[in-house]
Amino acid sequence: MKSREISKVWTVMPQQESAIHKVGMVLEPGNFQEYDPFLFMAEDWFQRGVFDFHPHRGMETVTYIIEGILEHTDNKGGAGKLNAGDTQWMTAGRGIIHKEDPAEGVTVHSLQLWVNLPASHKMTDTRYQDLQSEKMPLRQEEGAQIRVFSGSSGGVTAPTRNHVPVTMVEITLEPGATVTQDLPGSYNGFIYVLEGSGTFGAKQVEGKKTQVLWMSPTGEGEESEISITAREKLKLVLFAGQPIKENVVAYGPFVMNTEQEIREAYADFRSGKFN
Ligand code: FE
Protein backbone atom coordinates (compact mmCIF):
# COMPACT_ATOMS: atom_id res chain seq x y z
CA MET A 1 0.00 0.00 0.00
CA LYS A 2 1.58 3.26 -1.16
CA SER A 3 1.11 6.30 1.07
CA ARG A 4 -0.20 9.28 -0.82
CA GLU A 5 1.26 12.73 -0.48
CA ILE A 6 -0.42 16.07 -0.92
CA SER A 7 1.11 17.72 -3.98
CA LYS A 8 -0.67 21.07 -3.82
CA VAL A 9 -2.79 23.13 -1.42
CA TRP A 10 -4.92 26.13 -2.27
CA THR A 11 -7.60 28.28 -0.63
CA VAL A 12 -11.06 28.88 -2.06
CA MET A 13 -11.94 32.59 -2.27
CA PRO A 14 -15.69 33.10 -2.72
CA GLN A 15 -16.89 36.10 -4.70
CA GLN A 16 -20.29 37.77 -4.75
CA GLU A 17 -21.73 37.15 -8.24
CA SER A 18 -25.05 38.86 -7.60
CA ALA A 19 -27.27 39.82 -4.67
CA ILE A 20 -28.48 36.20 -4.43
CA HIS A 21 -25.38 34.25 -5.48
CA LYS A 22 -21.90 33.88 -4.02
CA VAL A 23 -19.49 31.39 -5.60
CA GLY A 24 -16.02 30.03 -4.86
CA MET A 25 -14.04 27.91 -7.33
CA VAL A 26 -12.79 24.77 -5.62
CA LEU A 27 -11.43 23.38 -8.90
CA GLU A 28 -10.96 26.10 -11.53
CA PRO A 29 -12.30 25.11 -14.95
CA GLY A 30 -9.78 24.64 -17.76
CA ASN A 31 -7.34 22.30 -16.00
CA PHE A 32 -8.90 19.28 -17.66
CA GLN A 33 -5.75 17.17 -18.05
CA GLU A 34 -4.55 17.80 -14.50
CA TYR A 35 -7.93 17.20 -12.83
CA ASP A 36 -9.10 14.35 -15.11
CA PRO A 37 -11.79 12.91 -14.72
CA PHE A 38 -12.99 16.04 -12.88
CA LEU A 39 -13.83 19.15 -14.88
CA PHE A 40 -14.38 21.70 -12.15
CA MET A 41 -16.03 22.18 -8.78
CA ALA A 42 -17.87 25.20 -7.43
CA GLU A 43 -18.97 26.07 -3.91
CA ASP A 44 -22.19 28.06 -4.15
CA TRP A 45 -24.41 30.04 -1.81
CA PHE A 46 -27.63 30.86 -3.69
CA GLN A 47 -31.32 31.59 -3.60
CA ARG A 48 -34.19 30.73 -5.93
CA GLY A 49 -33.75 31.67 -9.60
CA VAL A 50 -29.96 31.47 -9.89
CA PHE A 51 -29.93 28.06 -11.60
CA ASP A 52 -33.14 28.26 -13.64
CA PHE A 53 -33.77 25.83 -16.54
CA HIS A 54 -30.53 25.04 -18.40
CA PRO A 55 -29.20 22.07 -20.40
CA HIS A 56 -26.28 19.68 -19.92
CA ARG A 57 -24.68 17.02 -22.11
CA GLY A 58 -21.66 14.74 -21.95
CA MET A 59 -20.93 14.88 -18.22
CA GLU A 60 -22.23 14.19 -14.73
CA THR A 61 -22.96 16.67 -11.95
CA VAL A 62 -22.42 15.65 -8.34
CA THR A 63 -24.13 18.07 -5.96
CA TYR A 64 -23.45 17.86 -2.23
CA ILE A 65 -25.64 19.97 0.05
CA ILE A 66 -23.79 21.59 2.95
CA GLU A 67 -26.78 23.62 4.17
CA GLY A 68 -30.37 24.24 3.11
CA ILE A 69 -32.88 22.34 0.98
CA LEU A 70 -32.48 22.08 -2.79
CA GLU A 71 -35.31 21.19 -5.15
CA HIS A 72 -34.63 19.98 -8.67
CA THR A 73 -36.95 19.63 -11.63
CA ASP A 74 -36.27 18.57 -15.20
CA ASN A 75 -37.94 18.57 -18.60
CA LYS A 76 -38.65 14.83 -18.44
CA GLY A 77 -40.78 14.96 -15.31
CA GLY A 78 -37.99 14.17 -12.86
CA ALA A 79 -38.07 16.00 -9.54
CA GLY A 80 -36.62 15.64 -6.10
CA LYS A 81 -35.51 17.32 -2.94
CA LEU A 82 -32.11 17.22 -1.28
CA ASN A 83 -31.41 18.04 2.35
CA ALA A 84 -28.16 19.00 4.08
CA GLY A 85 -25.70 16.10 3.85
CA ASP A 86 -27.39 14.59 0.78
CA THR A 87 -25.81 14.23 -2.64
CA GLN A 88 -27.34 14.12 -6.08
CA TRP A 89 -25.45 12.21 -8.76
CA MET A 90 -26.90 13.27 -12.10
CA THR A 91 -25.70 11.75 -15.33
CA ALA A 92 -26.59 14.26 -18.04
CA GLY A 93 -25.52 11.88 -20.80
CA ARG A 94 -27.17 12.71 -24.14
CA GLY A 95 -29.06 15.65 -22.69
CA ILE A 96 -31.14 17.05 -19.88
CA ILE A 97 -32.74 20.41 -19.15
CA HIS A 98 -33.15 21.05 -15.46
CA LYS A 99 -33.35 23.66 -12.76
CA GLU A 100 -31.80 23.61 -9.32
CA ASP A 101 -33.70 25.81 -6.89
CA PRO A 102 -33.51 26.33 -3.15
CA ALA A 103 -36.76 25.93 -1.22
CA GLU A 104 -38.68 29.21 -0.88
CA GLY A 105 -36.86 31.73 1.29
CA VAL A 106 -33.86 29.44 1.79
CA THR A 107 -30.21 29.99 0.88
CA VAL A 108 -28.56 26.77 -0.21
CA HIS A 109 -24.85 26.23 0.43
CA SER A 110 -23.59 23.44 -1.81
CA LEU A 111 -20.71 21.94 -3.72
CA GLN A 112 -21.13 20.96 -7.34
CA LEU A 113 -18.54 18.81 -9.05
CA TRP A 114 -18.59 18.07 -12.76
CA VAL A 115 -17.34 14.60 -13.65
CA ASN A 116 -16.43 13.94 -17.26
CA LEU A 117 -17.85 11.02 -19.24
CA PRO A 118 -15.70 9.04 -21.68
CA ALA A 119 -16.53 9.30 -25.40
CA SER A 120 -18.21 5.89 -25.23
CA HIS A 121 -20.67 7.13 -22.55
CA LYS A 122 -21.28 10.78 -23.45
CA MET A 123 -24.59 10.00 -25.15
CA THR A 124 -25.79 7.55 -22.52
CA ASP A 125 -29.29 7.88 -21.02
CA THR A 126 -29.87 10.55 -18.41
CA ARG A 127 -29.93 9.16 -14.88
CA TYR A 128 -30.44 10.54 -11.37
CA GLN A 129 -29.22 9.00 -8.18
CA ASP A 130 -30.45 10.87 -5.11
CA LEU A 131 -28.04 9.74 -2.43
CA GLN A 132 -29.67 10.48 0.91
CA SER A 133 -27.07 10.68 3.64
CA GLU A 134 -28.77 8.36 6.13
CA LYS A 135 -29.22 5.67 3.47
CA MET A 136 -25.56 5.62 2.44
CA PRO A 137 -23.19 3.12 4.04
CA LEU A 138 -21.25 4.38 7.05
CA ARG A 139 -17.77 3.20 8.01
CA GLN A 140 -17.08 3.81 11.68
CA GLU A 141 -13.61 3.85 13.20
CA GLU A 142 -12.38 5.24 16.51
CA GLY A 143 -13.17 8.96 16.44
CA ALA A 144 -14.08 8.75 12.75
CA GLN A 145 -17.22 8.52 10.67
CA ILE A 146 -16.89 7.94 6.95
CA ARG A 147 -20.04 8.28 4.87
CA VAL A 148 -19.51 6.47 1.57
CA PHE A 149 -21.35 8.15 -1.32
CA SER A 150 -19.49 6.39 -4.13
CA GLY A 151 -16.77 3.77 -4.37
CA SER A 152 -15.54 2.30 -1.11
CA SER A 153 -13.73 2.99 2.13
CA GLY A 154 -12.05 0.26 4.20
CA GLY A 155 -14.23 -2.41 2.61
CA VAL A 156 -17.50 -0.45 3.00
CA THR A 157 -18.94 0.00 -0.49
CA ALA A 158 -21.64 2.34 -1.80
CA PRO A 159 -24.23 0.97 -4.27
CA THR A 160 -23.91 4.14 -6.39
CA ARG A 161 -23.50 3.41 -10.07
CA ASN A 162 -20.56 5.01 -11.86
CA HIS A 163 -19.73 5.47 -15.53
CA VAL A 164 -16.25 6.58 -14.49
CA PRO A 165 -15.04 5.01 -11.25
CA VAL A 166 -15.18 7.73 -8.57
CA THR A 167 -14.70 7.50 -4.82
CA MET A 168 -16.65 10.09 -2.83
CA VAL A 169 -16.60 10.07 0.96
CA GLU A 170 -17.56 12.56 3.65
CA ILE A 171 -15.28 12.22 6.66
CA THR A 172 -15.89 13.56 10.18
CA LEU A 173 -13.02 13.20 12.65
CA GLU A 174 -12.75 14.00 16.35
CA PRO A 175 -9.70 16.04 17.42
CA GLY A 176 -6.60 13.81 17.44
CA ALA A 177 -8.24 10.97 15.51
CA THR A 178 -6.61 9.49 12.40
CA VAL A 179 -8.18 7.65 9.51
CA THR A 180 -6.86 6.27 6.24
CA GLN A 181 -8.79 6.21 2.99
CA ASP A 182 -7.78 3.59 0.43
CA LEU A 183 -7.70 4.57 -3.25
CA PRO A 184 -6.54 2.91 -6.47
CA GLY A 185 -3.09 4.36 -7.22
CA SER A 186 -4.20 5.53 -10.67
CA TYR A 187 -6.86 7.93 -9.32
CA ASN A 188 -6.55 11.70 -9.32
CA GLY A 189 -8.14 13.14 -6.22
CA PHE A 190 -8.60 15.94 -3.75
CA ILE A 191 -9.88 16.80 -0.32
CA TYR A 192 -11.95 19.87 0.45
CA VAL A 193 -12.02 20.85 4.13
CA LEU A 194 -15.46 21.99 5.29
CA GLU A 195 -14.76 22.43 9.00
CA GLY A 196 -11.75 22.42 11.31
CA SER A 197 -8.14 21.59 10.54
CA GLY A 198 -5.75 18.67 10.33
CA THR A 199 -2.74 17.08 8.69
CA PHE A 200 -2.84 15.13 5.47
CA GLY A 201 -0.77 12.51 3.66
CA ALA A 202 2.66 10.95 4.18
CA LYS A 203 4.30 14.32 4.87
CA GLN A 204 1.52 15.55 7.18
CA VAL A 205 0.73 18.66 5.21
CA GLU A 206 -1.45 21.14 7.11
CA GLY A 207 -4.93 21.92 5.86
CA LYS A 208 -7.93 23.80 7.21
CA LYS A 209 -11.46 24.96 6.37
CA THR A 210 -11.69 26.56 2.88
CA GLN A 211 -8.57 24.71 1.67
CA VAL A 212 -8.25 22.17 -1.12
CA LEU A 213 -5.56 19.46 -0.90
CA TRP A 214 -4.64 17.81 -4.17
CA MET A 215 -3.45 14.18 -4.31
CA SER A 216 -1.52 13.13 -7.39
CA PRO A 217 -1.73 9.49 -8.50
CA THR A 218 0.90 7.07 -7.15
CA GLY A 219 0.80 4.63 -10.06
CA GLU A 220 -1.33 2.46 -12.29
CA GLY A 221 -2.22 -0.99 -10.96
CA GLU A 222 -1.26 -0.39 -7.33
CA GLU A 223 -3.24 0.40 -4.20
CA SER A 224 -2.67 3.59 -2.25
CA GLU A 225 -3.99 5.27 0.87
CA ILE A 226 -4.17 8.76 2.25
CA SER A 227 -3.92 9.30 5.99
CA ILE A 228 -5.81 12.13 7.65
CA THR A 229 -5.41 13.35 11.23
CA ALA A 230 -7.70 15.91 12.84
CA ARG A 231 -6.23 18.76 14.84
CA GLU A 232 -9.57 20.45 15.54
CA LYS A 233 -12.79 18.58 14.83
CA LEU A 234 -12.55 18.00 11.11
CA LYS A 235 -15.14 17.60 8.40
CA LEU A 236 -14.21 17.13 4.77
CA VAL A 237 -15.22 15.64 1.49
CA LEU A 238 -12.82 13.56 -0.57
CA PHE A 239 -13.23 12.86 -4.27
CA ALA A 240 -10.95 10.67 -6.40
CA GLY A 241 -11.47 9.16 -9.82
CA GLN A 242 -9.99 7.23 -12.69
CA PRO A 243 -8.56 9.55 -15.37
CA ILE A 244 -10.25 9.25 -18.78
CA LYS A 245 -7.31 10.58 -20.84
CA GLU A 246 -9.34 11.95 -23.74
CA ASN A 247 -9.54 15.35 -25.40
CA VAL A 248 -11.96 17.70 -23.62
CA VAL A 249 -13.91 20.44 -25.38
CA ALA A 250 -16.17 22.23 -22.88
CA TYR A 251 -18.56 24.96 -23.87
CA GLY A 252 -21.01 26.28 -21.32
CA PRO A 253 -23.02 23.31 -20.05
CA PHE A 254 -21.78 20.86 -22.72
CA VAL A 255 -18.62 18.77 -22.38
CA MET A 256 -17.63 16.76 -25.43
CA ASN A 257 -14.49 15.49 -27.17
CA THR A 258 -14.57 17.70 -30.29
CA GLU A 259 -15.75 21.15 -31.48
CA GLN A 260 -18.06 19.39 -33.94
CA GLU A 261 -19.82 17.57 -31.09
CA ILE A 262 -20.30 20.89 -29.27
CA ARG A 263 -21.94 22.35 -32.40
CA GLU A 264 -24.20 19.28 -32.55
CA ALA A 265 -25.10 19.73 -28.89
CA TYR A 266 -26.22 23.32 -29.50
CA ALA A 267 -28.11 22.32 -32.66
CA ASP A 268 -29.85 19.43 -30.84
CA PHE A 269 -30.73 21.69 -27.92
CA ARG A 270 -32.17 24.40 -30.20
CA SER A 271 -34.17 21.92 -32.25
CA GLY A 272 -35.75 20.38 -29.15
CA LYS A 273 -33.87 17.08 -29.19
CA PHE A 274 -33.19 17.35 -25.46
CA ASN A 275 -36.92 17.02 -24.81
FE1 FE B 1 -27.15 22.17 -13.90
**In the predicted model, is pLDDT for residue 109 greater than 80?**
yes
Pair 182, 154: CB distance under 8 Å = yes
pTM of the model as a whole: 0.97
**In the predicted model, is pLDDT for residue 275 greater than 90?**
no
Longest Cα pair distance anywhere in the chain, in angstroms? 57
Give Cα separations from 15 to 23, 69, 108, 250 (angstroms): 5, 22, 16, 23
pLDDT of residue 245: 98
**In the predicted model, is pLDDT for residue 104 greater than 90?**
no
Pair 80, 128: CB distance under 8 Å = yes
Domain of residue 105 covers 2-241
Mean pLDDT of the region 222-243: 98
pLDDT of residue 107: 97
As a whole number of angstroms, the distance between CA 102 and CA 106 comes to 6
- Give the Å distance between the CA of 272 and the centre of ligand 1: 18
Give the CATH number of the domain where residue 11 resides: 2.60.120.10
pLDDT of residue 237: 99
pLDDT band at 37 (very low <50, low <70, confident <90, very high): very high
- Give the Å distance between the CA of 10 and the centre of ligand 1: 25
- Give the Å distance between the CA of 172 and the centre of ligand 1: 28
Number of other residues whose CB lies within 10 A of the CB of residue 8: 12
Residue 135 counted as domain residue: yes
Buried/exposed 163-194: b ≥16 CB within 10 Å, e otherwise: bbebbbbbbbbeeebebbbbbbbbbbbbbbbb
Mean pLDDT of the region 114-141: 97
- Give the Å distance between the CA of 223 and the centre of ligand 1: 34
pLDDT of residue 45: 98
Please tell me the total count of domains within the chain: 1
Residue 232 counted as domain residue: yes
The percent helix, strand, coil of the chain (3-state, each to 5) is 10, 55, 35
pLDDT of residue 226: 98
- Give the Å distance between the CA of 151 and the centre of ligand 1: 23
**pLDDT tens for residues 142-189?**
999 999 999 999 999 999 999 999 999 999 999 999 999 999 999 999
pLDDT of residue 159: 98
Residue 106 CB-half CA count within 13 A: 18
- Give the Å distance between the CA of 96 and the centre of ligand 1: 9
Residue 248 counted as domain residue: no
As a whole number of angstroms, the distance between CA 222 and CA 102 comes to 42
Q: Is 71 left (phi over 0), alpha (psi -120 to 50) or beta?
A: beta
Q: What angle do CA 146, 101, 117 make, to 5 degrees?
A: 60
- Give the Å distance between the CA of 81 and the centre of ligand 1: 15
Helix H, strand E, coil C: the string for 190-203 is EEEEEECEEEECCC
Residue 254 counted as domain residue: no
**In the predicted model, is pLDDT for residue 56 greater than 90?**
yes
As a whole number of angstroms, the distance between CA 143 and CA 179 comes to 9
**pLDDT tens for residues 62-79?**
999 999 999 999 988 888
Residues of the chain above pLDDT 70, percent: 100
Strand-pair category, 152-153 with 156-157: antiparallel
Determine phi and psi for 31, rounding to 5 degrees: -95, 55
- Give the Å distance between the CA of 252 and the centre of ligand 1: 10
As a whole number of angstroms, the distance between CA 73 and CA 185 comes to 37
Residue type, 226: I
* Residue 5 DSSP class: -
Q: Is 268 helix (H, G, I), strand (E, B) or coil?
A: helix
- Give the Å distance between the CA of 139 and the centre of ligand 1: 30
